Structure 1
């Protein structure tokens, strides 16, 4: 079986957890036929082989990226522009996706990047919480202890199942300094990867370090090449 053969049925049968604390919501785009079609096309295009990928793990999807398209760090417009996958989903604003696709392009484009790496998250579904004006805001699984505790078994199973797609266990890339605490804890428990290297999260870079984007981009590319070399 190929990486795609394992990934497609996993995503297209994902179900939202029912044990989240009050006030924490979840978005499951994989129940939608149009997203299921995107999943099938995306993995069929970039992962129809058995080459092990280096895992690049974020926290959990944002509601404007994978919360819409089902593809990690990927907005509808970036799915069309950089991955060549047509869709009629409305364009969405997502800082993380903007930076990630600068990385993808600097690495050589989507086919080269996805041929070596697998972008994913510790938890596969977008989480939300009501903001002060009543609208939903992005939420992270580690933003409160109750949510972390409720989702930890699902996080463990997410990473275990996804490594079964075909992972290069020598190294994983963690996106986000706080996320590193939880990925390291998980790895100490489960021994999924031999080592973990950490990069600043794309959202942090564009939100707080926008003047230094070129420096961060160079750091990402150097780290990715180092992961492949060692």
Structure 2
């Protein structure tokens, strides 16, 4: 029987940081993480190192292509296109060949990576328009300077917003500084903050349709 263990969690502090002791966790076989938390605004800056012949697996849907990543440290990376690459309907997968031989149970044909590899990602009819849009994103990204350029730009944009949040008495960030995401930036109103006035100000600037979770605003 397979066992799934939670290596560590910051649930008791509303997921406002990534526990440091998680970096040194001992992995028996696989360790699965999400590189960027779109809800709570945390992001992995340092990934745990696989030991004991384990594999590091990551869902990078919301920050793939936003920064440089050493993919050699991972056994498997998967990312849905709809958050950072292109329209829904495309999934990007990067995996080590030896992982395909580690499967020891029956998996439906459609759900097997081997099926799609053997068929050149065309086991069934591919979403042509979505794939075309992803291609245009990749061509554009390469034309502006690639991952290194976009990473610098993303860091600059995020830092400008964090600086305003940290220096404005109306707002505060619920996320520990060392784990702040450059993709999803939550903030809460302080006692001096006026949510209705803020909404009115944004509306005048043609900034509308905020998605407001129960405890914070996010960009």
Alignment TM-score, normalising by the size of structure 2: 0.25
Higher Rg of the two aligned structures = 2
User: Which has the larger helix fraction?
Assistant: 1
Alignment TM-score, normalising by the size of structure 1: 0.25
